[in-house]
Amino acid sequence: GGAPAHLTGTYAEQGESVMLNLTLAGPNMPVPELETLLPALGVVLPAGSRLEGGTASAMLTMDGAADKLVTSGSLALNNTRLTGFDLPKKMATIEKLAGIKSGPNTEIQTLSATVRVAPEGASAQDMKLVVPAIGDLSGAGTVSPANELDFKMSATVHTSGLMAIVGNTPIPFTVQGTCADPVFRPDLKAVAKEKVKSVEGGLEKAGAGLIKGLLGGKKN
């Protein structure tokens, strides 16, 4: 339809296999034009949800045998909406910590990642997600061939809940479950570790300031 993309490269028969070396470039493609292709590409959205509006960009390379293809590169979504999926509600425990407001849909300002898809599963690195209702999310993780998720993420939000006392502190969390039914949990050990670092850093600066004051700002 109205989603132009360019596929270039080579293919060759090697025994009973077809070897591919291809590059796919698709800048600013309308998301609605791509939705029907997602299942064929192995992309599974949360149950009962769909993407509306916005654009997608892809720069991917595909190498190897056609039945064991390895695809890698960058993907991005801009100004789209995931309807029928309330991300803040899914992050209910984190919502209590951060004071996030929920809603029936998830507005996505930006989603970008470096991805690798192979027969043994998929991975996403350098993931950056900007959701106005939450804030900035980042992290990395993997998706198994059975669509099982294993992601370690961090959310930086303008806190108004229990975490408001520590300001705009990144809240580490994990994403598990499946693509159709993701499960979000705060990583409390990581939260505690970050706070200990923060307190230690504050004490170190305070101690240095005290010593400097006692010495009159002079170096020994």
Q: Are 11 and 18 in contact (CB under 8 A)?
A: yes
Confidence at residue 208, expressed as pLDDT on a 0 to 100 scale = 59
The alpha carbon of 170 is separated from its chain's Cα centroid by a whole number of angstroms, namely: 15
Nearest C-alpha neighbor of 29 from the set 62, 2, 7, 52: 2
Question: Given a cut of 90, is residue 80 above it in pLDDT?
Answer: yes
Place 87 in a pLDDT band, splitting at 50, 70 and 90.
confident
Question: Given a cut of 60, is residue 32 above it in pLDDT?
Answer: yes
Confidence at residue 30, expressed as pLDDT on a 0 to 100 scale = 92
Q: Are 55 and 78 in contact (CB under 8 A)?
A: yes
Nearest C-alpha neighbor of 155 from the set 170, 139, 142: 170
Place 44 in a pLDDT band, splitting at 50, 70 and 90.
confident
Alpha-carbon separation of residue 88 from 24, 51, 103, 137, 185 (angstroms) = 34, 17, 7, 12, 12
3-state DSSP assignment of residue 158: coil
Among 8-17, 31-40, 142-151, 195-204, the minimum mean pLDDT is found in 195-204
CA atoms of 108 and 173, how far apart (whole Å): 19
Predicted structure pTM score: 0.76
The alpha carbon of 24 is separated from its chain's Cα centroid by a whole number of angstroms, namely: 22
Mean pLDDT for 24-35 is 88
Query: What mean pLDDT value characterizes the chain?
Result: 81
Burial of 100 (0-12, 13-18, 19+ CB in 10 A): buried
Among 28-42, 89-103, 182-196, the minimum mean pLDDT is found in 89-103
Confidence at residue 164, expressed as pLDDT on a 0 to 100 scale = 46
Q: Are 154 and 141 in contact (CB under 8 A)?
A: no
CA atoms of 199 and 194, how far apart (whole Å): 9
- pLDDT digit string (tens) for 181-206? 999 888 877 666 655 565 555 556 55
Nearest C-alpha neighbor of 174 from the set 156, 182, 186: 186
Confidence at residue 190, expressed as pLDDT on a 0 to 100 scale = 67
Question: Given a cut of 70, is residue 48 above it in pLDDT?
Answer: yes
- pLDDT digit string (tens) for 115-165? 999 999 999 999 999 988 888 899 999 999 999 999 999 988 755 554 444
HSE-up of 92 (CA within 13 Å, CB side)? 4
Question: Given a cut of 80, is residue 73 above it in pLDDT?
Answer: yes
